[in-house]
Structure 1
Amino acid sequence: MIRKTVPLLFALSFLLCLPASAKSLIGKARVVDGDTIIVSGERLRLMGFDAPESKQTCLSPVGIERPCGRKATEYLDLVLSTVDHQVACKTFGQDRYQRTLARCVIGDLYLGSWMVRSGHAVVWPRGDQWYLADQDDARLAKRGLWAGQFEFPWVWRRAR
């Protein structure tokens, strides 16, 4: 009983410690792409990191092209489908594209940390650098994107 209560308590404390202007959402999440989910009918852009675009490809360590954008989406979907907890999110307004920005946790783990530490996403350079230690860990271990060659998602988007 205690094991199941601890993640819920963490999620509730996470929601209570954030600014009053932020909105709380708790529920099952549906994946749109590697950095976007839908919770309680609201589309959320997960903040602090950037995942490759759905059509973006990268090179494996031996130079073979692979669908890293699709892999990022599949990984986030796998994470959300294998856990037995609801996602707790706090919104932080909107970005310049009018997307709702949010940080979300499952139990005591941030989705952004999961994505960046696995190498399926990178720290957003103009953000708060929240997941920088996770990125350093993934880069040094050569996980995900860091195992081969890739363009940062914002560079890839700008070129297209």
Structure 2
Amino acid sequence: MRSLFLAVALIAAPGQAQTLSGPAKVVDGDSLSVSGISVRLFGIDAPEGKQTCNRSGTAWRCGEEAAAQLRGLIGGNPIECRGRDIDTYGRTLAVCAVAGIEINRAMVESGWATAFRKYSQDYVVEETRARAAHRGIWASEFQLPQDYRAAQSATQGAAPVALMQRQIASPATQMTSGCAIKGNRNRKGQWIYHLPGMPYYAITRAEEMFCSEAQAQAAGYRRAIVR
């Protein structure tokens, strides 16, 4: 009965994960409201609502398309979310499912969101597959959502989001622990890793650090070409 779907089950006992269930309203490609509760899909990062991507030299509203894809995935069905944490904006970070399909994984696998490696490695394999098949945003050139947000915040004079959302292990910390291989996404959308001593290593801004080439390759990166 519809009245049952309008009710939200929220369990927030200390040490236990929150569970949310009910109808959902999509905000953007990785954010939604479950019966009025703000939810951010854990481990993934989709283009922002106003973000555009470049496809064959033409800008297109990939942020709006990502939101439309999430909306289509959910349809009019109630969803169930298992909370993992609360982010700096007070949203519940959760893994959600509809009709037995995990939404987080489906969005990355279909190419409408990236694996948010800053906080989780859960969806790296799905992203690698989507990128290889040129699905969704991977059929275009685009700015990583986190970089887009940081650029927008800097333009507006606000503190970059990247500074607000601290990583558990920053590149600097990883370098001091012996992980010195730099992973970076270039302007063509390719994921490249650079070894110490390679050209451009010193000026490369690391988005991820790796302890071995095998680790970098498993995450979907390829070795920089030295000419």
TM-score in terms of structure 1 length: 0.81
Report the counterpart of residue 93 of structure 1 in structure 2: 85
Structure 1: segments with no counterpart, 5+ residues: 1-18
Q: Secondary structure at the match of 2:65?
A: helix
Q: Secondary structure at the match of 2:75?
A: helix
- Give, in whole Å, the separation in 2 of the partners of 1:66 and 1:24: 36
More helix by share: 1
Residue 99 of structure 2 is aligned to residue 107 of structure 1? yes
- Give, in whole Å, the separation in 2 of the partners of 1:20 and 1:53: 32
Q: Secondary structure at the match of 2:27?
A: strand
Report the counterpart of residue 135 of structure 2 in structure 1: 143
Q: Secondary structure at the match of 1:126?
A: coil
Residue 74 of structure 2 is aligned to residue 77 of structure 1? no
Asked if the contact 1:46/1:103 (under 8 Å) is kept, the reply is yes
Structure 2: segments with no counterpart, 5+ residues: 1-13, 153-227
Greater radius of gyration (CA) = 2
More deviation, 103-112/145-154:
103-112
The one-letter amino acid paired with 1:27 is G
Report the counterpart of residue 67 of structure 1 in structure 2: 61
Q: Secondary structure at the match of 1:116?
A: helix
More deviation, 134-143/23-32:
23-32
Asked if the contact 1:63/1:148 (under 8 Å) is kept, the reply is no
Superposed CA deviations along residues 55-100 of structure 1, whole A, max 9, x for unmatched, are 100011x121100001001110111116xx4311111221123221
Select the residue among 18, 22, 26 that pairs with 1:31: 26
- Give, in whole Å, the separation in 2 of the partners of 1:72 and 1:124: 15
The two structures, once aligned, show a CA RMSD in angstroms of: 1.6
Which structure's relative contact order is higher, taking Cα pairs within 8 Å and 6+ residues apart?
Answer: 1
Asked if the contact 2:117/2:124 (under 8 Å) is kept, the reply is no
Report the counterpart of residue 154 of structure 1 in structure 2: 146
- Give, in whole Å, the separation in 2 of the partners of 1:128 and 1:101: 12
The one-letter amino acid paired with 2:103 is L
More deviation, 141-150/101-110:
101-110
Residue 110 of structure 2 is aligned to residue 118 of structure 1? yes
- CA-CA distance at 1:146 after TM superposition: 0.7
More deviation, 94-103/29-38:
94-103
Identity, in percent, stands at 40
Report the counterpart of residue 10 of structure 1 in structure 2: none
- CA-CA distance at 1:129 after TM superposition: 1.3
- Give, in whole Å, the separation in 1 of the partners of 2:90 and 2:80: 21
- CA-CA distance at 1:20 after TM superposition: 5.4
- Give, in whole Å, the separation in 2 of the partners of 1:129 and 1:109: 19
Q: Secondary structure at the match of 1:43?
A: strand
TM-score in terms of structure 2 length: 0.58
The one-letter amino acid paired with 1:99 is R
Select the residue among 16, 20, 24 that pairs with 1:21: 16
- Give, in whole Å, the separation in 2 of the partners of 1:46 and 1:86: 16
